[in-house]
Amino acid sequence: MSISKEFVDQLQDFGLTSWSRMKEEMVLVVRRSLLESLGMFQGLRLM
Amino acid sequence: MLARENNFFAPRSSAENDPSLKQIIPYTILSSAGKILRYKRGKKSGEQRLVAKGSIGIGGHMNDNDEGLFALDMEAYLAGVQREILEELIVERPKHTRIGALINDDSNEVGQVHLGVVHIFELPYPVAEKRESMILNLEFLTPEQLRAERDTLETWSQICVDNLEKLLAE
């Protein structure tokens, strides 16, 4: 049994669309250890 | 801390549950003529834990909107901060901007995974209009008025209100 190129293309399109929908939100972070190395604080620290 | 080598992007779902990481949240205070902008978060607010709370900070998560971005330098970060404000409010260009403080509140689960960077934007006039429906009851208030309604504010705003004089001093 052979698989048509059209069917493969449709599968690829579906995969890319699904991946795009599932792409997770990425957020900017720092490591807590960096803060600790600079001197951890609770509340507000003026800069 | 905001140098490119110190920050990076991580999936939000894991960052929300990983206290070894702190999500950087710009928290911009808009002031003019001795007054500070206060608003209330509506039901359409992204952060459901803060709905109906008063706030004096505009901002949100910094995302990797730019393709291929792995970290931010100060210039890219500040551009992101400006973009956040313009997405939510219509305001005049600020006369002056600066970073005033960091907020770290490890007393609760939400605070344990976030770090606030407090920006002070001095506007030429105490005038602002909302662009986002999540923003309600926009009002410029004096420090005394803000202290009077302190208990209705979200925690980070309470921390800022407790330190307003120092924050607004040049």
- Write out pLDDT tens, residues B3-35: 888 999 999 999 999 999 999 999 999 999 999
Q: Is the CB of A36 inside 8 Å of chain B's CB atoms?
A: no
Chain B's closest residue to A31, CA to CA, is B21
| Nearest CB partner across the interface for A42, out of B15, B23, B106 | B106
- Judged by DSSP in three states, B35 sits in strand
With cut-offs at 50, 70 and 90, classify the pLDDT of residue B66: low
Q: Is the CB of A24 inside 8 Å of chain B's CB atoms?
A: yes
* pLDDT per position as a tens digit, B102-151: 999 999 899 999 999 999 999 999 999 999 778 899 999 999 999 999 99
- Asked if residues B69 and B75 have their Cβ atoms less than 8 Å apart, the reply is no
Q: Is the CA virtual torsion B168, B100, B22, B77 positive or negative?
A: positive
Q: Please identify every stretch of chain A with a pLDDT value under 50, giving residue numbers as ranges.
A: 21
CATH number of the CATH domain containing B119: 3.90.79.10
Residue A23 pLDDT: 72
CA distance B115 to chain A (A): 9
**Residue-number span of the structural domain to which B58 is assigned:** 4-168
Please tell me the total count of domains within chain B.
1
| Torsion on CA atoms B53, B81, A31, B107, rounded to nearest 10 | -20
Distance CA B170, CA B168 (A): 6
| Torsion on CA atoms B120, B123, B126, B129, rounded to nearest 10 | -90
Task: With a threshold of 0.90, tell me whether the complex ipTM lies above it.
Answer: no
Q: Is the CB of B56 inside 8 Å of chain A's CB atoms?
A: no
